Structure 1
Amino acid sequence: MPERPVGGSPTIGIVGLGRLGSALRSVCRDHGTRVTLTASRRGGWSVEEVPDVLVDASAPGAHAEVLDYCATHRVPLVACVSNLADTQWKALEGLAEKVPVVRATNLSFAHYLQVRIAEFTAALTAGGPGATTTVRERHPLGKAHRPSATALALADTWARASGRAVADVADERAGLPVSEHELTHTWDGESLHVRHHVGSWTVPARGALAAAGWARAASPGLVTMRTVYGDLTARSTT
């Protein structure tokens, strides 16, 4: 939970200027948020001043340099790279002992709602007729890995909440940007589909900016976007 109130918008550092990083840069410009650091494979690191929060939207190859920068300058990190090796996940946990780290498998607010619905459904159906539950995800051609990290996280959420593993995780590579993730529960003669569709990179970029604002005032530790959105929605209702 954030403990150090900080006024105003945080300054942002963006590592990786691909689709997400470029969208975040545009969102920061639209919101009047200063971007004081950018880094890319072609352009290298450009630092106007140390940012309040660093958002890593790059690739596993930049991970060590990102973690070293955050540790050296005590900068909170929003980690958006999902296809990391086990040793890299461990290193992320190590960084979280020093600074706040948000592990952002999926940055969308509606995905947060999808996760909460999955947990709610698991609680409501406990002890009732068992459903067959599956996860389906779709990304355009060129998606780096499959199944997506979000699909695997959805399957894990359901397994932890219900005590029952999903029957299948299906992946598809086709169609338009950006993604679809669907959780389906099937009983005898009926089914329930909870589908989340994202059609613009502006959506996760806004989520990254929200996570950066949260992390700026947080204590060291490793959290997910579930914690970030849970805290932000709780504060908005008080």
Structure 2
Amino acid sequence: MPMPEVHGPGALRVGIVGRGRLGGAVREACRTEGAAVVFTVGRNGGWHTGPVPDVVIDASAPAAHQDVLDYCTAHRVPLVACVSDLAEAQWAALGRLAETVAVVRATNLSFAHYLQSRIAEFTAGLVAGSPRPASTTVRERHPQGKAHRPSATALALAETWTRASGRPVEDIADERAGLPVSEHELTHSWTGESLHVRHHVASWAVPALGALTAAAWARSAGPGTATMRTVYDDLTARSSP
């Protein structure tokens, strides 16, 4: 999967909101990939007033939403929104921001999760006419301390299956234990057999590189709301023969 160019004289300039695990991983990804970090701010303030970045990556928390929105609106800067547990009013505000700049709603930043979702759609098409309908469930695991349960990714995976198959999942199981970072699994069960499509992320470098990929894509995108599905669909289409 190609990543938009971030090196050289036209290197991507990024503003990072959030100093937690994802924010720190995004800073490291910028260092290794040759992107310039214009500023890094916490969710409690300390906004930089110097050069304006090409894109802002919000890896903070809902409490910082208004500051992020105000900055991107004032400077007309595209946004990669990695905070998944926003309120409806906050999502609506991002929709209004998207009328002037690109806004990527990044529920899950991983390319392999994108593939997992595409596999779910493919599987739904194959089993649609099956005389033995599958019982489908979603399971997600995060370490203790993950506030949002079920995770936004688990809910999105279940929604993808329901939309593609016309049938809801039987259950969404959430577990809070184990090591970073996450697991998401879609299971299809028939009598005597089952199919498991499992995605495991073991490093914060994975979503960080996804955030940087989304930022590089958003820099050249026009106004509008996009998802990581939009980003990866576009990038994989560019690389297809």
What TM-score results when the alignment is normalised by the length of structure 2?
Answer: 0.94
Aligned residue number for residue 206 of structure 2 = 203
Deviations 1:148-178 (A, max 9, x none): 0000000000000000000000000000000
Paired-residue identity, %: 72
Aligned residue number for residue 113 of structure 2 = 111
* Mapping 1:1-238, distance limit 5 Å: 8-41=10-43, 44-128=46-130, 129-238=132-241
**Quick one: distance in 2 between partners of 1:131 and 1:41?**
44
What TM-score results when the alignment is normalised by the length of structure 1?
Answer: 0.95
**Quick one: distance in 2 between partners of 1:66 and 1:46?**
12
SS in 2 for 1:165: coil
- The residue type equivalent to 2:72 in the other structure is C
Question: Any runs of at least 4 consecutive aligned residues in structure 1 with deviations exceeding 4 A, and if so which?
Answer: none
Residue 43 of structure 1 deviates from its aligned partner by 6.4
* Structure 1: 5+ residue stretches without partners: none
Please say which of residues 16-25 and 32-41 is displaced more in the overlay. Answer: 32-41
Residue 38 of structure 1 deviates from its aligned partner by 1.3
**Quick one: distance in 1 between partners of 2:49 and 2:30?**
16
Residue 46 of structure 1 deviates from its aligned partner by 2.7
**Quick one: distance in 1 between partners of 2:81 and 2:224?**
13
- The residue type equivalent to 1:124 in the other structure is L
- The residue type equivalent to 1:223 in the other structure is A
* Structure 2: 5+ residue stretches without partners: none
**Quick one: distance in 1 between partners of 2:18 and 2:185?**
28
**CA RMSD in angstroms, aligned pairs only:** 1.5
**Quick one: distance in 1 between partners of 2:104 and 2:44?**
26
